[in-house]
Structure 1
Amino acid sequence: MAGIPLLSPMAAFAQTAAPPEAPSDPAAEVTGENDAITVTGTRISGFTAPTPLTTVGQAELESKAVSTVSELLDDVPQLRINQNIGKSSEPIGASNADLRGLGTQRTLVLIDGRRVGFTDPAGTIDTNIVPVALISSVEIVTGGASAAYGSDAVAGVVNFVLNKNLQGLRLDASYGQTIYDDHRRPSISGAYGTSFADGKVQLTVAGDYLRNSGQTSQAERPWGNRQTALLTNPAYTPTNGQPRLIISDNARFSQMTAGGVLTRANGLALAQRLGFPTGTGVQFGPNGQPIPFVYGTNIGGTFMTGGDGAQVTDEGNILPEIERFTAFGGIRIELSENLKFFSDFIYAKVDSLSDLTPNPDNGNLTIRNDNAFLPLALRSAMAAAGLTSITMGRIHFEDELSRFESTTVSRRFTFGLEGRFGGSWTWDVSGQISRNDYDQLSFNNRINNRFTLGLDTVVNPATGQPVCRALLNNPNPSAAQDPYGDLRGCVPINPFGAGSISQAALGYYRGTSYLRSRQEQDVFAVNLSGSPFSTWAGEVKVALGAEYRREQTSLRSDPDSAARRWRSVNAQPFDGEFDVKEGYAEVVVPLARGSRFAENLDINGAIRYTDYELSGGVTTWKVGANYSPFADLRLRATLSRDIRAPNNFELFSRGNQVINAIVDPRTNISRQTVQITSGNIALQPEKADTFTGGVIFTPSFLPGLRASVDYYRIKINDAVSVIAAQSIVNFCEEGRTEFCAGVVRDPATQIISQVNVIPFNADSLKTSGVDVELQYRFALGGGELNLRGLANYVAELSTTSNGVTNDYVGLAGVAPPPQGVPEWRVNLDATYSTDTWRFGIGYRYIDGGKFDTRFNITTLDIADNNISGRSYVDLSASYKLNTAIELYGRVENLFNVYPPIAPNGITQPTIASSQFFDRRGTFIAVGGRLRL
């Protein structure tokens, strides 16, 4: 697909017909008559760069009836839009662009050729902030572009081109929802542009609003209501042929119920003394009375199949709720024939909401034999067994769902001058100020110390009422002994029976944590381009420039988070800042034109020197060539050195907490474990070597046909990597001692209590593959038929660390970064249009693969490691009532194809966790457009 623009019909035809030296491009739609056309991937105008480029044009924007950038780019096989649907440690609802599956931080996002500031403290960019109403095209460089644009363009560039020369009024309103009568999406957008003062002043304004109701209950889908989870197999040994893991329906918690349940060791022993049936455990029913707990099969540390345990899988998220508003205002003033002033301002506010399970305790609550709420029958059974304490688990539905609300506010102000002189020379100077705020509120969080104090209760001998043991022992604690007031305000907690926790107790330990961050970016740049002289084959063109950039992140959180007192998140305050100074040069040298051996031959080279305040200087470069032996065929190739410097979060963050399931290889038992992720000031820039080579065929004997094939290979050295907590534990047990420092085990029980995760410069990250496009457009029956096929084949996506290589091609389940990509993605489209009607049908194929590509290599890790691919059919249509009004509709996933089942390993598993497959089901959108 690389290098084959997905253009509007007229633009695409013009590009096919144009000679190599003057390619037509969709960018022409948004530039003035005398403006030079510069396509993403090069700083030189009027030049077809050898770097692969894909363009989504205006026709595709309208035919897809899109309201979000993620919908717009779903059909680009090389690109994945990652959306967080409920991980508390990541920005909720954010949609991040990820080229080649190399990670969102390695895809540079631009608006009108200028980089976009980070929208959250993790150093990613939420594409929801882009004003959809004004997008004219999206240009995607599917290869390294650091020499042209600087840091982060390792996997490529996504450039949103805005229509700033709009004339007239555009309004678009639509409504969409699924066939399940949920995930409702009303949206409205508008844009207006006008010029005056004899066309010397251009004003453009735009705005759009969208509300996505989301879907926070996967049980609303037939594929999501079977309570599916990833279980450990208690019968597994390395030599008995049993699988280590099982994907099972009807999964229940083995150590958690709404009223509480004793852990199996305690429960089996005490159930007999209580007279319960053999093999049952002990749970707590109405009024906290002990009743039998029936175990299922495949009993693990978190889940089992069947039985009496609780389950919260039904409420797992499909999509978050999102409300978005964006606004744009811009002005362009022609000060003279060769001098223009420009300025624009973008404002965006994105509110997102998602939820997770109520606060769980998976068998880790300790109850002493003198607990004030302990049922008398159980107290007697403990005495008879000689037990002074028991352990139990509970999911605290009284706490209500953990809700995560995030707000992103983005403000971007750009200004500058541009001009021309000497016929072919152009220049510009510009400044860009970005101030992006990110806030996250975590409702119904729990202060662990207060919960622990309130749980440990005894009977106050003076009153005969329950009282916190610590408060009874120290009724007048000093400020030094009780800095947070935990003791003075301690409220007894009754854990026995559903609904047993009082409102007073909830008010004591439950609350709202928050983090607030600001991401600042200042960019000042100067660019110069033109032709200093000509060769026998045409003009030599050069571009020169310099840039200064400052990146700053400041994060603040509530005092309890700073002290790590909450059960989850506990964002740690930090400040980080660095500046970057850069200078670049690019040249195009034509070597042949219209000769006997070459219709066209040119060489393109670029070099950039970047001086990072923290890590010193780095040089990036690119060399490429276009060669057309005859007019119908063009060969192209590029070789480049690209870089990505670590961002402020990777460098300076002081630790973010999340609780996930970790399987201990020593016992094959899964437990909810604290994971702390922090930064590493010693990180160095990544260095990537990229090669692309391809062929474009536009046969003159078959007008309208265009085909291309491009090969790519990217190898990143010193890649900044975060090894997943589970992998750190596994590597330590496999004898790789360098990882053992991150695994914290309880000294007495040797149970894993915490895993520390930090980024480091891994050995390498590699990917390679092939992009293919075939496009054919021809007249048919008074209209035009456009056929297009796009495909991406991935041969390798691997990481190598400490001599161990893992390949993630075909990874369709859950795994640590990189998340994995299908081996094949194929998109086929057919569109028939007349002056009044347009009909379209699309076919999408996403290859399957393995739940985890690292499984079933040396041991039988999972019962069935295979995940099948999926095919989707989409329909679209539009009808023009007149020249001003158009009605349209679109149906996505026409046959309501279910996603493959691939649960992740958390307390509330997402059953279909892959980002590539549709979870919504059939989605229908209708709307109308007004053009005046």
Structure 2
Amino acid sequence: MVQEMCAGSHADMPRNGGGRSFRLGMVSLLALCAPLAAPLAAAQQPAGPSGAEPMQALDEIVVTGTRISGFTAPTPLTSVGAVEMQDRGVSTVSDLLRDVPQLKVNQNIGKSSEPIGASNADLRGLGTQRTLVLMNGNRVGATDPAGTIDTNIVPVALIRNVEIVTGGASAAYGSDAVAGVVNFVLDKTFQGAKADISYGVTDYGDFRRPKASVAVGHGFLDGKLHATLAADFLHNSGQTSQAERPWGRNRTVQLTNAAYTPTNGQPRLLIVENGVFSQMTPGGVVGLQGGRNTLAQSLAAQLGFAPGTGVQFGPNGQPLPFEYGTNVGGTYMQGGNGYQVIDGGNLLPEIERKSGYGRVSFEVSDDITLFADMLYSEVQAESDLAANPDTGTLTIRNDNAFLDGSVRAAMASLGLTSIPFGRINLEDGNSIFQTTTKARRWSFGAEGILAGNWTWSATGQITRNTYDQAALNNRIAQRWTYGIDSVINPATGQPICRVLLNNPNPTAARDPYGDIRGCIPINPFGAGSITQQAQAYYHGTSTTFAEMRQEVYAANISGSPFTTWAGPVSVAAGAEYRTEKTVQTSDANSAASRWRSINAQPFSGKYHVKEGYAEVVVPLADGAAFANKLDLNGAARYTDYSTSGTVWAWKIGGNYEPVADVRFRGTLSRDIRAPNNYELFSRGNQVINQIIDPRTNIGRQTTQITGGNPDLLPEKADTYSVGVVYQPGWLSGFRASFDYYNIKVKDAISVISAQDIVNFCFRGQSVFCSGVTQTNDIITRVNIIPFNANSQKVAGQDLEMEYNFPLEMAGADGDMRLRLLVNHADKLATTANGVTNDYVGLAGISPPPQGVPEWRVNLNVSYSFDDWKLGVGYRYISGGKIDTRFNRTVLDIADNRIDGINYFDANIAWDATANVTIYGSVENLTNEAPPITPNGIVQPTIANSPFFDNRGRFWVIGARARF
């Protein structure tokens, strides 16, 4: 909830243990808000919801976004708490955060170049790198070499609430808090024991999700010593067949319009059903030449096939007619008798999560507490993509050892020495991608009270995260090329690799990997024609391993040095030293870029950061005639990066209450993001995706390589927000807030998309042509590096309303809770190379870019009575465009619109005993289908948007107990 620092959804806020009334400090940033919160807590506090912890007076609140205790910060804050988790029966962080309109949780469902199954938080659509993730106020270390954070590592069993600062917060927390902060608050003083077990499944019987969690906590030595332990287990079976859904059975693809010309008014791109490969079959097919099928048709005519057909290869390599459909593109066409793997496109990956957390604290005296905790999390994910493809990119010579004699004769009649050839190599099996992410995090420190009202803390944190990826059923490209090019050995009359015949005794220098010496001829003609011996020659597994090390040491002090006519002036100050190191290794073939896909390059990068900050709150009025309350808040942070020098972040804001019921708030800040190790030092990340050649309007699967740039500098963002909070004394339990936000990022660390690089190159901007590699006028590779050249702007409004009140219904006394969250996005614009694109309303073709809906609405209503709790949820996501860049002059598509979707959820809980609750929930009650927005890969995902549900109606039943 967008809330005051010392007000809000108090049922979700943690409470202290051992009688302590503070937990301020660099790590947890707890506030002395009890005096301010008590009246609101009393007004809003409902009876304990079914299955939830009993409501009690609030005496400790985690505060995110300020270092000052007892202060109502001017920065908007949204909170999602344990009550919401229990009501909905959620088991993952991504499920929990789905209902926050300002936030999207990006989950990779199967792109081989990205961490499979990772759920990354992204505020305002500015990208995951610009959202700072904290746990108990501590910065969370990267979980993959690209520097992003998989929120799956957070131990769900102890999440007390999640606080989301929906605006810049670098002055308080440092780099990355450009769009805001997501802080996972764990229950550090949990007392007793609790367990939760549940099972979820879709209407279709897939995506099965068993989950269990347990936590215990106890105080010893009269509460001076406290220990907490928790463990989680979850397994999502995933779903890698979109054809299991009615909306996914139409083989929908995006392809180029064969009728398009720059002057005829036709769209360049189409989204059509019944898509099949235009240049691939399991047995092989003669490919397109120059993007056209004229060569294949001429060859078919020589073989006596019907006019207009091409040539494919059936059992034993026998040539057969290949019927073309319409709109024949480089990868797909509509109709015809080509093969397809669209049905097996991914919905969700398989994920298994195990985590454990332990914490111990000891009160040395009334003024000093020592603490230490440890987190271990292991997340395993698996997904698949189509078997190794060749979209017409192979060359078959007329003397190929396995080529049917009739085809050889037809080639001779046409004067052809070679033909293009395509094949989907089902013998290889699906490409399987497995990742294991391990997070190990230790923190320790001390905190206490100095003389008077001053508090202090000193903390340390050590993180050792590892990322391990294996790509099974990969292919060594050079060996595949050598094996395909076979001839008859005149000495034996048997097939032999041409390269081996020409180089019977290659030197080690010429053949360092044994590609020539061990070459096995490959027969590509006919389904199942590739032998196991040949597969053993070119087939294998590529691997990547990375370790991300982070260490943070900090000291913090806060208090009030003096008091003015309006109240005490509060200050906080502190210093921090942080190191970040990433070391990535890979197998030898990857390091030499020999695999068809992935080819992760080894790299090592390290930097350190020294920071100091100060914050002050100055009250200017309290109970005055012109202002019930008026205060100003200012903060500044000086940061010195070993890689890019010094930079300042600052914030100034204030609160003005003309009367007790109304508070106006506003902030202005300069926020920063420094480049991470991957952006600075990486040596190349490979992805294969469709690139449309603007000269021919033909799309082909093309290798794209993104590397680092050591000359990158920190980004700078200017943010301002203004808003009003209304909490009427005459309507107990009601609260509303409205805020406007505007963020402008300068010198944004960005990459120009591979498609834009190609477009710019062939439109006369030759500086981009150095990144484009061609073979025979066909684009085969695009190189990309990040740079400080873009600017980004976001703007919009947030609305929140909450009302808690008692309600008698059907003779039962109960409590009703209503909560409304609304986000309206005005702008999400990126300017690159002088061209500005606004991505508000962009729905699906990704990446890049990824946009945000114009409107997101979330309404939750719950009613508690006796031993029961009932809840209903409503979500609305507005429609928009498949791609906001598409128009009639640059990138055009026939039908660029998608419709908005209304979702309904429901939940129920029953207290079977005083300690045991049985609960159930259903999400997407009406089983709404997602918008159809296929991407351009070989096995396209039909529904791409991270905002819409592609799982379908999902049922959960479970039980939880607390003692």
Q: CA deviation at 1:720?
A: 0.4
Q: CA deviation at 1:884?
A: 0.4
Residues of 1 paired with 2:271 and 2:730: CA distance?
55
Residues of 2 paired with 1:779 and 1:32: CA distance?
17
Q: Paired residue for 2:206?
A: 182
Pair 1:806 & 2:837 matched: yes
SS at match of 2:700: strand
Residues of 2 paired with 1:434 and 1:814: CA distance?
36
Pair 1:541 & 2:537 matched: no
Q: Aligned ranges for residues 870-881 of structure 1 at < 5 Å? A: 870-881=901-912
Q: Paired residue for 1:46?
A: 70
Residues of 2 paired with 1:498 and 1:851: CA distance?
37
Question: Which amino acid in structure 1 is aligned with residue 960 of structure 2?
Answer: R
Q: CA deviation at 1:550?
A: 0.1
- What is the aligned-residue RMSD (CA, Å)? 2.0
Question: Which amino acid in structure 2 is aligned with residue 248 of structure 1?
Answer: V
Pair 1:466 & 2:495 matched: yes
Q: Paired residue for 1:736?
A: 765
Using structure 1 for the length normalisation, give the TM-score. 0.97
Contact 1:11 1:25 survives alignment (8 Å): no
Pair 1:688 & 2:717 matched: yes
Residues of 1 paired with 2:38 and 2:814: CA distance?
28
Q: Among residues 256, 259, 265, which one is paired with 2:283 in the alignment?
A: 259
Q: Paired residue for 1:93?
A: 117
Contact 1:445 1:567 survives alignment (8 Å): yes
Greater mean deviation of Cα atoms: 474-483 or 330-339: 474-483
Q: Aligned ranges for residues 530-609 of structure 1 at < 5 Å? A: 530-609=559-638
Contact 2:143 2:150 survives alignment (8 Å): yes
Q: Among residues 3, 6, 9, which one is paired with 1:7 in the alignment?
A: 9
Gaps of 5+ in 2: 15-30, 46-52, 288-292
Contact 1:8 1:57 survives alignment (8 Å): no
Residues of 2 paired with 1:557 and 1:860: CA distance?
38
Q: Among residues 340, 343, 346, which one is paired with 1:317 in the alignment?
A: 346
Pair 1:377 & 2:406 matched: yes
Residues of 1 paired with 2:62 and 2:11: CA distance?
21
Call closer, same or farther: CA 1:239–1:19 in 2, change over 3 Å.
farther
Using structure 2 for the length normalisation, give the TM-score. 0.94
Q: CA deviation at 1:745?
A: 2.0
Q: Paired residue for 2:518?
A: 489
Q: CA deviation at 1:384?
A: 1.6
Contact 2:719 2:744 survives alignment (8 Å): yes
Residues of 1 paired with 2:576 and 2:517: CA distance?
57
Residues of 1 paired with 2:520 and 2:891: CA distance?
49
Q: CA deviation at 1:843?
A: 0.5
Contact 1:371 1:458 survives alignment (8 Å): yes
Residues of 2 paired with 1:113 and 1:817: CA distance?
31
Question: Which amino acid in structure 2 is aligned with residue 241 of structure 1?
Answer: G
Contact 1:844 1:871 survives alignment (8 Å): yes
Q: Paired residue for 1:455?
A: 484
Q: CA deviation at 1:763?
A: 3.2
Q: Paired residue for 1:838?
A: 869
Call closer, same or farther: CA 1:786–1:202 in 2, change over 3 Å.
same
Q: Paired residue for 2:50?
A: none
Q: Paired residue for 2:159?
A: 135
Q: CA deviation at 1:860?
A: 7.1
Residues of 2 paired with 1:552 and 1:24: CA distance?
45
Residues of 2 paired with 1:200 and 1:835: CA distance?
37
Q: CA deviation at 1:858?
A: 2.4
Q: Among residues 887, 903, 928, which one is paired with 2:934 in the alignment?
A: 903
Residues of 2 paired with 1:405 and 1:502: CA distance?
26
Q: Paired residue for 1:329?
A: 358
Residues of 1 paired with 2:228 and 2:626: CA distance?
49
Pair 1:778 & 2:802 matched: no
Gaps of 5+ in 1: none
Call closer, same or farther: CA 1:306–1:260 in 2, change over 3 Å.
same
Q: Paired residue for 2:953?
A: 922
Q: Aligned ranges for residues 582-661 of structure 1 at < 5 Å? A: 582-661=611-690
Residues of 2 paired with 1:653 and 1:441: CA distance?
19
SS at match of 2:412: helix
Greater mean deviation of Cα atoms: 855-864 or 531-540: 855-864
Residues of 2 paired with 1:763 and 1:391: CA distance?
40
Q: Percent identity?
A: 63
Q: Paired residue for 1:411?
A: 440
Q: Paired residue for 1:352?
A: 381
Question: Which amino acid in structure 2 is aligned with residue 3 of structure 1?
Answer: Q
Q: Among residues 302, 313, 334, which one is paired with 1:305 in the alignment?
A: 334
Q: CA deviation at 1:11?
A: 6.5
Greater mean deviation of Cα atoms: 153-162 or 757-766: 757-766
1:565-608 CA-to-partner distances (Å, cap 9, x unmatched) read: 00001000000000000000001111111111111111110000
Greater mean deviation of Cα atoms: 61-70 or 180-189: 61-70
Residues of 2 paired with 1:440 and 1:859: CA distance?
38
Q: CA deviation at 1:46?
A: 1.5
Residues of 2 paired with 1:34 and 1:896: CA distance?
40
Contact 2:617 2:631 survives alignment (8 Å): yes
Q: Paired residue for 2:22?
A: none
Q: Paired residue for 2:28?
A: none
SS at match of 1:718: strand
Residues of 1 paired with 2:247 and 2:956: CA distance?
23
SS at match of 1:242: coil
Greater mean deviation of Cα atoms: 307-316 or 639-648: 307-316
Call closer, same or farther: CA 1:764–1:640 in 2, change over 3 Å.
same
1:224-261 CA-to-partner distances (Å, cap 9, x unmatched) read: 11111101001101211211100010001111111000
Residues of 2 paired with 1:478 and 1:347: CA distance?
50
Greater mean deviation of Cα atoms: 574-583 or 814-823: 814-823
Q: How many residues align?
A: 927
Pair 1:759 & 2:790 matched: no
1:364-406 CA-to-partner distances (Å, cap 9, x unmatched) read: 1111111110011111111222211111111101111000000
Contact 1:8 1:58 survives alignment (8 Å): no
Call closer, same or farther: CA 1:633–1:545 in 2, change over 3 Å.
same
Call closer, same or farther: CA 1:658–1:860 in 2, change over 3 Å.
closer
Q: Paired residue for 1:386?
A: 415
Pair 1:106 & 2:130 matched: yes
Contact 1:716 1:764 survives alignment (8 Å): yes
Residues of 2 paired with 1:205 and 1:822: CA distance?
40
SS at match of 1:754: strand
SS at match of 2:396: strand
Residues of 2 paired with 1:490 and 1:390: CA distance?
22
Residues of 1 paired with 2:368 and 2:668: CA distance?
36
Q: Among residues 738, 743, 764, which one is paired with 1:709 in the alignment?
A: 738
SS at match of 2:2: coil
Residues of 2 paired with 1:818 and 1:466: CA distance?
48
Residues of 2 paired with 1:25 and 1:367: CA distance?
77
Question: Which amino acid in structure 1 is aligned with residue 766 of structure 2?
Answer: T
Call closer, same or farther: CA 1:30–1:667 in 2, change over 3 Å.
farther
